[in-house]
Structure 1
Amino acid sequence: MLFSVALVMNILRTIWNGITTVKQAVTNLLFIVVVVFIVVTLSDVETVNVPDEGILQLHPTGTLVLQRQSTSPFNQIVYGSGSGAETSLAELTEALDRAREDRRIKGVVLNLNDFTGGAPALLSELGSAIDRFRDGGKAVVAFGSSFSQSQYFIAAHAESIYLHNDSVDLFTGVLMSGYGVYPTYFKSAMDRFKVRYHVFRAGDLKSAVEPYLRDSMSTETRQVNLSWLGSLWDEYATTISDSRGLEKVEFTRYTQQYARLLAEYDGDGGELALSYGLVDELISPIEFDQRLERRFDMPGNLQFIDHRDYLTATELTASLENSGTRKVAVIVASGVILGGHQPPGTIGADSLSQLLQQAQDDPNVGAVVLRIDSPGGSATAAEHIRQKILQVQASGKPVVMSMSGYAASGGYWIAAPGNRIFSMPNTVTGSIGAYALLPSLSDALAEYGINTDGVGTTTLAGAMDPFRPLGADIKSVLELSLNRTYSRFVSVVGDGRNLSQTEVLALADGRVWTGNDAMSLGLIDSFGNLEDAVASAALLAGLNNYDVTRLQVTLTPGEQLLSRIINQSIAVCGRWCTVNDPLSWVPGAEEVRWLIQQQSVAARPAIYLQCLECRVQ
Structure 2
Amino acid sequence: MAKAMNILRAIWNGITMVKQTVTNLLFIIIVVFIIVALTDVETVSVPDKGILKLHPTGNLVLQRQVTSPFGQLVSGSGGGAETSLVELTNALERAQNDERITGVVLNLNDFSGGAPALLSELGNAIDRFRDTGKPVVAFGSSFNQSQYFVAAHAEAVYLHHDSVDLFSGVVMSGYGVYPTYFKSALDRFKVRYHVFRAGEFKSAVEPYLRDNMSTETRQINLSWLGSLWDQYATTVAERRGVEKRAFKEYTQQYARLLGENNGDGGQLALAYGLVDELVAPHEFDQRLEQRFEMTDNLAFINHRDYLTATELSAGLERPDTKKVAVIIASGVILDGYQPPGTIGADSLAQLLQQAQDNPDVGAVVLRIDSPGGSATAAEYIRQKVLHVQESGKPVVMSMSGYAASGGYWIAAPGNRIFAMPNTVTGSIGAYALFPSLSDTLSEYGVNTDGVGTTPLAGALDPFRPLVPDMRSVLESSLNRTYSRFVNVVGDGRKLNQSDVLALADGRVWTGNDAMAHGLIDSFGTLEDAVASAALLAGLTGYDVTRLQVTLSPSEQLMRRIIDQGISVCGTLCNVEDPISLIPGAEEVRWLIRQQAAMSRPAIYLQCLECRVQ
Equivalent position of 2:435 in the other structure:
439
Tell me which moved more, 393-402 or 164-173: 164-173
Alpha-carbon separation, structure 1, partners of 2:154 and 2:211: 44
Equivalent position of 1:505 in the other structure:
501
Instruction: Determine helix, strand or coil for the equivalent of 2:266.
Output: helix
1:227-271 CA distance string (max 9 Å, x none): 100000000000011111111111110100011111221111111
The answer as to 2:165 corresponding to 1:169 is yes
Alpha-carbon separation, structure 2, partners of 1:504 and 1:313: 50
Give the alignment of 1:209-228 within 5 angstroms. Answer: 209-228=205-224
Alpha-carbon separation, structure 2, partners of 1:78 and 1:233: 33
Tell me which moved more, 125-134 or 79-88: 79-88
Instruction: Determine helix, strand or coil for the equivalent of 2:340.
Output: coil
Q: What amino acid sits opposite 2:221 in the alignment? A: N
Instruction: Determine helix, strand or coil for the equivalent of 1:350.
Output: helix
The answer as to 2:449 corresponding to 1:453 is yes
Give the alignment of 1:210-609 within 5 angstroms. Answer: 210-320=206-316, 325-557=321-553, 559-560=555-556, 563-574=559-570, 584=580, 590=586, 593-594=589-590, 596-597=592-593, 600=596, 605-609=601-605
Alpha-carbon separation, structure 2, partners of 1:73 and 1:286: 33
Equivalent position of 1:38 in the other structure:
36
- Cα 1:197/1:575, change in 2 over 3 Å: farther
Q: What amino acid sits opposite 2:134 in the alignment? A: K
**8 A Cα contact 1:85 1:579, kept in partner:** no
- Cα 1:137/1:314, change in 2 over 3 Å: same
**8 A Cα contact 2:197 2:431, kept in partner:** yes
Tell me which moved more, 504-513 or 73-82: 73-82
Q: How far apart are 1:145 and its partner, in Å?
A: 1.4
Q: How far apart are 1:605 and its partner, in Å?
A: 3.9
The answer as to 2:72 corresponding to 1:96 is no
Give the alignment of 1:146-161 within 5 angstroms. Answer: 146-161=142-157
User: What are the ranges of 5 or more consecutive residues in structure 1 without an aligned counterpart?
Assistant: 1-20
Alpha-carbon separation, structure 1, partners of 2:416 and 2:292: 42
Q: How far apart are 1:555 and its partner, in Å?
A: 2.0
**8 A Cα contact 2:69 2:561, kept in partner:** no
Paired residue for 1:187, among 165, 183, 188? 183
Equivalent position of 1:125 in the other structure:
121
Tell me which moved more, 215-224 or 93-102: 215-224
Instruction: Determine helix, strand or coil for the equivalent of 2:33.
Output: helix
**8 A Cα contact 2:579 2:585, kept in partner:** yes
Alpha-carbon separation, structure 2, partners of 1:174 and 1:331: 37
Alpha-carbon separation, structure 2, partners of 1:101 and 1:579: 36
Alpha-carbon separation, structure 2, partners of 1:341 and 1:596: 21
- Cα 1:551/1:61, change in 2 over 3 Å: same
Instruction: Determine helix, strand or coil for the equivalent of 2:314.
Output: helix
Alpha-carbon separation, structure 1, partners of 2:318 and 2:432: 48
- Cα 1:150/1:255, change in 2 over 3 Å: same
Instruction: Determine helix, strand or coil for the equivalent of 1:614.
Output: coil
Equivalent position of 2:9 in the other structure:
none
Q: How far apart are 1:459 and its partner, in Å?
A: 2.3
**8 A Cα contact 1:337 1:377, kept in partner:** yes
Alpha-carbon separation, structure 2, partners of 1:63 and 1:82: 7
**8 A Cα contact 2:427 2:506, kept in partner:** yes
Alpha-carbon separation, structure 2, partners of 1:407 and 1:62: 22
**8 A Cα contact 2:72 2:79, kept in partner:** no
Instruction: Determine helix, strand or coil for the equivalent of 1:318.
Output: coil
Tell me which moved more, 65-74 or 147-156: 65-74
Instruction: Determine helix, strand or coil for the equivalent of 1:534.
Output: helix
Q: How far apart are 1:99 and its partner, in Å?
A: 0.3
1:179-235 CA distance string (max 9 Å, x none): 011112222222222222211111322112222222222221111111100000000
Q: How far apart are 1:465 and its partner, in Å?
A: 2.1
**8 A Cα contact 1:438 1:603, kept in partner:** no
Equivalent position of 1:16 in the other structure:
none
- Cα 1:578/1:544, change in 2 over 3 Å: farther
Alpha-carbon separation, structure 1, partners of 2:205 and 2:414: 29
Count matched residues.
595
Tell me which moved more, 488-497 or 351-360: 351-360
**8 A Cα contact 2:591 2:608, kept in partner:** no
Alpha-carbon separation, structure 2, partners of 1:364 and 1:407: 29
1:10-61 CA distance string (max 9 Å, x none): xxxxxxxxxxx99996785254232244167535xx3211111111111101
Tell me which moved more, 495-504 or 346-355: 346-355
Instruction: Determine helix, strand or coil for the equivalent of 1:366.
Output: strand
Alpha-carbon separation, structure 2, partners of 1:23 and 1:586: 30
**8 A Cα contact 2:73 2:566, kept in partner:** no
Equivalent position of 1:50 in the other structure:
46
- Scaled by the length of structure 1, what TM-score is found? 0.90
1:81-117 CA distance string (max 9 Å, x none): 9951110100000000000011111111111111111
Instruction: Determine helix, strand or coil for the equivalent of 1:38.
Output: helix
Q: What amino acid sits opposite 1:253 in the alignment? A: E
Alpha-carbon separation, structure 2, partners of 1:99 and 1:612: 38
Tell me which moved more, 453-462 or 382-391: 453-462
Alpha-carbon separation, structure 2, partners of 1:366 and 1:579: 48
The answer as to 2:83 corresponding to 1:87 is yes
- Cα 1:241/1:592, change in 2 over 3 Å: closer
Tell me which moved more, 71-80 or 186-195: 71-80
Alpha-carbon separation, structure 1, partners of 2:25 and 2:518: 49
- Cα 1:88/1:272, change in 2 over 3 Å: same
Q: How far apart are 1:300 and its partner, in Å?
A: 2.5
Alpha-carbon separation, structure 1, partners of 2:258 and 2:574: 34
Tell me which moved more, 240-249 or 592-601: 592-601
Instruction: Determine helix, strand or coil for the equivalent of 2:310.
Output: helix
Q: What amino acid sits opposite 1:65 in the alignment? A: V
RMSD, aligned α-carbons: 2.8
Instruction: Determine helix, strand or coil for the equivalent of 2:153.
Output: coil
Q: What amino acid sits opposite 2:253 in the alignment? A: Q
Alpha-carbon separation, structure 2, partners of 1:346 and 1:579: 27
Q: How far apart are 1:614 and its partner, in Å?
A: 0.5
Instruction: Determine helix, strand or coil for the equivalent of 2:162.
Output: coil
Q: How far apart are 1:587 and its partner, in Å?
A: 6.9
Tell me which moved more, 426-435 or 66-75: 66-75
- Cα 1:583/1:150, change in 2 over 3 Å: closer
- Cα 1:23/1:194, change in 2 over 3 Å: farther
Instruction: Determine helix, strand or coil for the equivalent of 1:143.
Output: strand
- Cα 1:437/1:166, change in 2 over 3 Å: same
Identity, in percent, stands at: 78
Equivalent position of 2:5 in the other structure:
none
Q: What amino acid sits opposite 1:248 in the alignment? A: K
Q: What amino acid sits opposite 1:179 in the alignment? A: Y
Alpha-carbon separation, structure 1, partners of 2:245 and 2:46: 45
- Scaled by the length of structure 2, what TM-score is found? 0.91
1:94-151 CA distance string (max 9 Å, x none): 0000000111111111111111110100000000000110112211111111111111
Q: What amino acid sits opposite 1:271 in the alignment? A: Q
User: What are the ranges of 5 or more consecutive residues in structure 2 without an aligned counterpart?
Assistant: 1-18
Q: What amino acid sits opposite 2:223 in the alignment? A: S
Instruction: Determine helix, strand or coil for the equivalent of 1:317.
Output: coil
**8 A Cα contact 1:198 1:440, kept in partner:** yes
Instruction: Determine helix, strand or coil for the equivalent of 1:107.
Output: strand
Instruction: Determine helix, strand or coil for the equivalent of 2:278.
Output: strand
- Cα 1:575/1:359, change in 2 over 3 Å: farther
